[in-house]
């Protein structure tokens, strides 16, 4: 038969150990979850910015097909967003964005190497890669890099 005092000591030690473990692990776990959530928020913002820039370019191009040249604001936004994507995403995702980025004037159009359909395909591939890193998408393999 086990001594009741021994059971009480083991129970008290277990409770104290669990409390100490909780005290030390909780902040670390909270910080880890916060970092993951913040990274996901920044990645979603970058993907939304890519989508907004692509839409702005497409509307301008379709309204003035063959003569449209994006203004400096679009190029500044694209440069900022590309830098953010390069910093936050794996290289394979950044390459997918680069495929879209190089099609924005002067490469798109009659004298360029693309057309609006090619641009839409490049945009869709870039967005699938971007969003696929943050949320599960059917048919999109997530890269292993974080």
Residue range 80-95, pLDDT digits in tens? 999 999 999 999 999 9
Residue in the block written with tokens 């879209």:
100
Domain boundaries, the chain: 41-134
Counting every residue written for the chain, the total comes to 146
Alpha carbon distance 108, 50 (integer Å) = 17
Q: Where are the alpha helices (DSSP H) in 1-115?
A: 4-63, 72-88, 91-101
pLDDT at 109 over 80: no
pLDDT at 113 over 70: no
Q: What is the DSSP letter of 135?
A: S
Whether residue 84 contacts residue 46, with contact meaning beta carbons closer than 8 Å, is answered with: yes
Provide the 3-class DSSP secondary structure of residue 108: strand
């Amino acid at each position: 038969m086990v001594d009741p005092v021994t059971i009480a000591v083991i129970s008290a030690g277990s409770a104290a150990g669990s409390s100490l473990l909780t005290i030390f692990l909780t902040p670390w776990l909270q910080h880890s979850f916060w970092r993951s959530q913040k990274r996901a928020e920044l990645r979603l913002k970058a993907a939304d910015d890519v989508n907004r820039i692509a839409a702005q370019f497409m509307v301008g191009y379709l309204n003035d097909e063959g003569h449209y040249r994006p203004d400096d604001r679009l190029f500044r936004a694209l440069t900022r967003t590309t830098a953010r994507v390069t910093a936050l995403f794996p290289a394979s995702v950044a390459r997918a964005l680069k495929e879209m980025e190089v099609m924005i004037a002067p490469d798109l159009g009659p004298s360029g190497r693309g057309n609006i359909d090619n641009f839409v395909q490049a945009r869709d591939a870039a967005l699938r890669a971007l969003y696929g890193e943050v949320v599960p998408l059917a048919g999109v393999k997530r890269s292993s890099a974080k």
